[in-house]
Amino acid sequence: MTQFKRITLALFLFVGIFVRADEGMWFLMFIDRLNHRDMQKMGLQLTAEEIYSINHSSLKDAVVQFNGGCTAELISKDGLLLTNHHCGYDAIAELSTPEKDYLTNGYWAADRSQELKPKSLYVRFFVRMDDCTKRILAKVTNNMTEAERDKIIREEIALIEKENSEGGKYVVNVRSFFQGNEFYFFVYQDYKDVRLVGTPPNSIGKFGGDTDNWEWPRHTGDFSMFRVYADPNGDPADFSTANVPLHPKHHLPINLNGVKEGDFAMIMGYPGRTNRWLPAGGIDQNVKYAYPAWVEASKTAMDAIKVYMDKDAGVRLNYASKYARIANYWKNRQGMIDALTKFQTAASKAINETKFDAWANLPKNKATYGNVVKNINVYYTATNDKARHDNYLQILFRGSEYAAISRGLGAQLMAYSKANATDRTQMKMELKAAIDEFFANSYAPAEIDILISGLNLYAAKANYELEPGIEAMYADGSVETEIRAMFAVSLFAAKNRLYAFLEIPNAGMIENDPFFALSTNIIKHLSKRSDELIRLTDEYNKAYRLLVAGLRESGLSTIIYPDANSTLRLTYGKVSALPANKRNDAKINNYTTLQGAINKYKPQDEEFDLPQRLIELNKNKDFGRYADKAGYMPVNFLTNNDITGGNSGSPVLNGKGELIGLAFDGNIEAMAGDVIFDNKLQKTINVDIRYVLFIIDKYAGAKHIVDEMTIVQ
């Protein structure tokens, strides 16, 4: 059966019967063919061309990938950019000092000369995409090993990316979909001069902290604002005072009329990663081996960091972003364990794989698909313990600067030591800046404790072949003693030692440095693969690809959209309530109010404190034009859109393409959503755009920022 016939059959069988409108992360280039009629029935008033056009301005021109990990949207003709507070967190923390603590106190540029430039921040505009499946798959055969296949595919991808970059003007990425059964290329343009315009204080932007993270009801003003700058011709340029605000092809108008149950809502953004095709064995491995290790190792790192953050304001600012990232995934992974266990997702997948195995072993299918399920299960059985081991060890790289030193600063110094005199002269100033940044962003007592606690946990719990150096330390009961001894002698423990190295560089000093050696050995151990594991991995990769191909061909899967992989997608659904909750003061459990935030208020509490000005505004009902017609100040609302990490900051749009909210979270009840979509429980938590503008205008007094937006009321 041809690929076209398989897709057509899948559409005929499943779109009208099984796939709900709120499920799916869809390619924009296929909206007209696959989704547009359904979206119109739900309330869309735009044409497919108005959503995605190559030759004319469209909605896609207002949506950007923010710094490689989140989504943001243009909301003025002068490049004003809106994203989540937690997406801008790194940049805000970098720009903050104990004397000018923008994380704690917020910041609003009085004019464009006051907009602040972080060291490294960029946004990526989506230009176009196209299908290159036939071209790539024509280069491979079924008789190739996976390694041979991958090599040929990588070579063809490199050619496609070069051909479409227009001499470096564009960034081109070819991405694999449906586990290597389809390929598309994406053309982007990057802008690197992005400046902070405004951010609410932590007590608004991060209200509820870790306690409320992934929970509903939420009362969080999770937004921050930036501006994109370009050269006078509108082209990307490095930071310069000569740059001017970018005039985008399209910016989103903002609708202040509010939302109600059943209203159409679509979200465009860059969802990071879903695994809806993941086999039962993979789900079991995550739930029983990988995720528990992730959760425990993350909590160990968080506890070590928090001690020092609580003692010192400078340390708190330096480690705030790292702590927030670790904490976010710590709670996410525990939620995944709970949800996948509760809904017996692995068991459901196993039942379907049994059906697939029967189909695969029919005479006409056996040669291609007969060993698929067996090879997948053999692989997971062989790698369960390693998955646990790897997660205990990998979290060290998230928590400890020294665990990753050989990949970062150490690698730079090694290259410097091997360079000729001319190149060293050019490298020296950059290295001094890198050394300064390393010591400005790390705090030795915290780093020592993060490393000691993480290594002790790994050695005690990994239950697998340990990295030899760590095993030796732990066997002697000397992890703490040896780590402290390393700090006493390491080049990387003192700035003046590294400065001295720059004057008399020696590769052997880096290679033999105890932290460089430890980091190198950890990385080497993580990537270690026996011949047997290499063989099993090769068989697994092929089997997984064939499983997805076979599930699509047989009709045993209802999924017709590709997994998320940080490429631009559209998801659509409706404003949608969860069952009534006594913790929410709202009349319908699909929105929250500022009064609900006041009800959670705890003075001086790290998570639930609120600014007195905000409390006064609520007391006086001084909401301006941003109040709901019922009189309350809306804060957050729910939709049933299908999103995941990377969609943070994505615009929530009504049927006219007007901005009504800002996506920022999912709900704990549906944490299995990256693996299986629950159409009853899965929700997206959004900041109501009226709350965003209320905070900017009435709370912060920055009405000049609102004035440059296009408001619909």
Burial 5-34 (b: 16+ CB within 10 A, else e): ebbeebeeeebeeebebbbbbbbbbbbeeb
Q: Is residue 556 a contact partner of residue 369, using CB atoms and an 8 Å limit?
A: no
Residues 601, 586: Cα–Cα separation, whole Å: 17
Nearest to 184 by CA among 227, 137, 120: 137
Residues 273, 141: Cα–Cα separation, whole Å: 28
Which SS3 state, helix, strand or coil, does residue 175 take?
A: strand
Quick one: three-class SS letters along 42-79?
A: HCCCCCHHHHCCCCCCCHHHHEEEECCCEEEEECECCC
DSSP 8-state symbol, 698: I
Q: Is residue 515 a contact partner of residue 151, using CB atoms and an 8 Å limit?
A: no
The residue annotated as part of the active site, out of 86, 219, 250, 525, is 86
Tell me the residue type at 701. Answer: G
Nearest to 595 by CA among 625, 613, 630, 621: 621
What are the C-alpha distances in Å from 104 to residues 100, 206, 222, 523?
A: 9, 10, 14, 36
Residues 651, 661: Cα–Cα separation, whole Å: 6
Is 251 one of the catalytic residues? Answer: no
Q: What share of the chain is helix, strand, coil (3-state, %, to 5)?
A: 50, 15, 35
Is 86 one of the catalytic residues? Answer: yes
Is 648 one of the catalytic residues? Answer: yes
Residues 6+ apart with CB under 8 A from 570: 25, 26, 28, 31, 35, 51, 266, 267, 268
Beta-sheet pairing, 711-712 with 254-255: parallel
The residue annotated as part of the active site, out of 61, 193, 222, 563, is 222
Helices and strands in the chain, H and E counts: 29, 19
> C-alpha angle with apex 556: 550 to 560, nearest 5 degrees?
80
The residue annotated as part of the active site, out of 58, 442, 648, 650, is 648
- Tell me which residues are annotated as active site: 86, 222, 648
